[in-house]
Chain A
Amino acid sequence: MMKGGWFKVYAIGYLVFLYAPIIILPMFAFNDATVIAFPLTGFSTRWFSAMLEQPTLSLAVKNSLFIAVTSAVLATTLGVFAARASTRYRFPMKAGLMGLIMLPLVLPEIIVAVSLLVVLLGLGVSLSLWTVILGHVLICTPFTIAILSSAFQSLDQSLEEAAYDLGESAASTFRLIILPLVMPGIISSLLISFTISLDEFIIAFFLAGTEPTLPVFIFSQFRFPSAVPVIMALGTVLVCLSIILLTIAEYFRRRGIAKSGGKDTGGFL
């Protein structure tokens, strides 16, 4: 028996468990039948064409893209500030403030959703895509900080001092040295927050008002069995898209590590 053989068998079994839903998804997306059940009846791309003709879907996609792009940019901006502050400075109440900022990582999203809902309604703010963005920025920021912190951490402080020593100002040091070196981290943080926001359901469900977002639309379609095959087709497209985005994010994360001469210590989170 090879080294760690049983572990490998177990690991492969585990990967099958992890990937089971993703493997089944395209089977039904390309299946001819209206009912989502085995046995499969035949190959068809009609659910994909039906998907393109859904008017609400295109609105939902547009809304979700707007929310995801805006949230990603805002969360990454906030993440840059917090990651820089936490890796570079010591200051009073640091643990408390960082704890609060990172809290959404472990807080059930429904709590974030209802608490924001209560406050927004209390203040008389009407629900819109922007209220969803408020919530999404909140839950994306901890992820951006996790990614950006490791980018800032691997940045040797004497690099900044060296640039400063060679005559650059604080601002030009940031532009010439820090920004290029953490850029891969910024890109992967943008991609990760985009992915999280695009997929987020419960906050959008509470805070979007009457505007559909993609997950809210998908959730509503589950109630109509006849609409489900279209959702399977949509899901296939989404899965492919997120795998592509993740691969790009992973590529930039690794390039960032290689560029700053560091050692790869793991994946996201």
Chain B
Amino acid sequence: MTEKPTMIAFQDVHKYYGDYHALRGITATIKAGEFFSLLGPSGCGKTTLLRTIAGFEGISSGAVMIDGRNMAGVPANQRPTNMVFQSYAIFPHLTVGENVGFGLRRAGLTKDALAARVGEALDMVGLKGYGARAAHALSGGQRQRVALARALILKPKVLLLDEPLSALDKKMREQMQVELIRLQRQVGITFILVTHDQEEALVMSDRIAVMFEGEIAQLADPETLYRRPNSRKVADFIGTMNFLPASILSETGGKLEVEAQGFGKVTLEAEQAPGAASGEGAAVGFRPETLTILFEGQTATDRESMATIEEVVYYGDMTYYDVRLDGTEKPIRISMRNVFGRPVLDIGARTRVAWSPGALVLFR
């Protein structure tokens, strides 16, 4: 696979609001044609960072480059980016067609050419024939599509999406996620999505930057982010992660010898400590689905431990067990798919748990 060219580069970007340090030295690159997400809790600076690309926020120091060009002093209306706003910002006094064609006013197109372009854009977002409708009469999902068409009609180099799905209900949101992915593949433009929903980011993105308090905590593809988070904070923010105390015994040839509570002595590869753990006070983390409760007649493929079941939460397709491994103080969570014929265990039952050292992540 050839390396794609860089579309956006942040070079040590800082942003202050008075005394408040909103962006604390962001350095990252976003590649052309990538679906990139900025993920983080509210107030982490993700929207601010997006708006520095659009040109709605100035930066205090550093540089924002788009397609190799420094954007300092370039106002929002001259940047090769377009935005889909959280509120969609559909102009209520214009029709759907006028909204979509808004940015082409200066292009000097003939009436017919304009209508053709608008029709094309509406077609692309599945709103064929909606051009003459009044904008304020649209549903949430339709507004979203109009906003998309309006931003894409200018063929920007980068499309910025500020929490575009947060106002939709769950079903609509899932449908739009799939459509956004399809649209991005179709137009091939760089998409940058701001979201606080980790699931949304995992589903849609090629790469994700997780942000906390004005800094990028980890920038990786969804699988790495999920399997190998580089800090407890990232691990906690994305899905559920169990932690058990551990101590590092030795470090030789890139391999780590670790004594973990409940698991005993294990040897981990260097890539299993992405946060570069060393020294005391470490912990091992693992996802609930990487452990398996062994039922009668089943045997572990790798290693197994004994445990006691302390809580059972039944979800229909899944059952969540809070179990305590022998020799540990607090319970850990294990998720099991409820396949046909498998019983749901009772609280207090003793059980065997299968696990593999490869699923463990070492944290500082």
Contacts and interface: CB of A to CB of B under 8 A. Distances in A.
A261 interface: yes
Contact of B77 (A165, A177, A181, A260): A165
Interface string B302-319: 000000000000000000
**3 A-B pairs with least C-beta separation:** A166-B103, A162-B89, A158-B89
B77 A168 contact: yes
B77 A161 contact: no
Chain A, interface size: which category?
10 to 19
Interface string A87-129: 0000000000000000000000000000000000000000000
Contact of B85 (A161, A180, A181, A258): A161
Interface string A138-168: 0000000000000000001011011111111
A169 interface: yes
Chain B, interface size: which category?
20 to 34
B77 A159 contact: no
Given A167-B154, A168-B77, A169-B77, A259 B87 contact: no
B209 interface: no
Interface of A: 156, 158-159, 161-169, 177, 180-181, 258-261
A101 B157 CA distance: 47
Interface string B68-89: 0000000111100111011101
B106 interface: yes
Contacts of B106: 167
Nearest to B84: A162
Given A156-B89, A168-B77, A181-B92, A163 B102 contact: yes
20 contacts: A156-B89, A161-B85, A161-B89, A162-B89, A162-B150, A164-B56, A164-B77, A165-B76, A165-B82, A165-B83, A166-B82, A166-B154, A167-B77, A167-B154, A168-B105, A177-B91, A180-B93, A259-B93, A260-B92, A260-B136
A63 to B, nearest CB: 38
A89 to B, nearest CB: 15
Name the residue among B54, B56, B91 with the largest chain A CB count within 10 angstroms.
Answer: B91
Contacts of B91: 159, 162-163, 177
